[in-house]
Amino acid sequence: MFDRGWLRAGVLGLVTAALSTMPGFGQTLPQRTGPTILTITGLDPDAHPGGAVAFDLAMLKAMPQATIKTSSIWTEGPHSFSGVPMAALAEYLHVTDATVRLHAINDYSVDMPLSETEDDAPILAYEMDGAPMPVRDKGPIWIIYPYDAGAEYRSDTVYSRSVWQLDRIDILR
């Protein structure tokens, strides 16, 4: 008779190994190797020492990506913005049912309920037309919505949440 116990154990081990390589599944964040461009505070201190995480550009590029081609009230003509969807970042950090406070380098801040995000919008854009955005051009991170996709993306609320020169996100509980 064939003993399938070893087969089940082997398959379970392979599935666990595969899942453990997925971001957010019992895995620690990659080590930051470059300068910090985004700090997230208010996280679970049991999962993240000190309740905070500092991201460099390489860490953000290693996460799920989205591209939005849109025009905006701050740019001329449409541009292609690439970055991490806010929803993917929240999922990666296991943050649900929270409001986040978005902070810019110049101390501008605004609150955004995560319940109002979509799978691919907004994004934390770090590239415009394939190039990094310097601080003088609204970088290194700019919250971008698909403004051309519908009137709901051209409201005062959405515009106020389109924070450029984003450098910190606080998780409010």
Q: Express each pLDDT in 13-22 by its tens digit.
A: 333 333 333 3
pLDDT, residue 20, reads: 33
- At 22 the pLDDT is 36
| pLDDT tens per residue across span 97-143 | 899 999 999 999 999 999 999 999 999 999 999 999 999 999 999 99
Task: For the domain made up of 29-172, give the CATH fold.
Answer: Sulfite Oxidase; Chain A, domain 2 (3.90.420)
65-72: Cβ within 8 A, 24+ apart? 66/120, 66/121, 66/123, 68/120, 68/121, 68/123, 68/125, 68/144, 68/145, 68/146, 69/148, 70/144, 70/145, 70/146, 70/147, 70/148, 70/149, 71/147, 71/148, 72/144, 72/147, 72/162
pLDDT score of 49 more than 80: yes
Inter-residue contact 169 to 40 (CB < 8 Å): yes
User: What SS3 state is found at 39?
Assistant: strand
What are the sequence ranges of the domains in the chain? 29-172
- Greater confidence, 103 or 10? 103
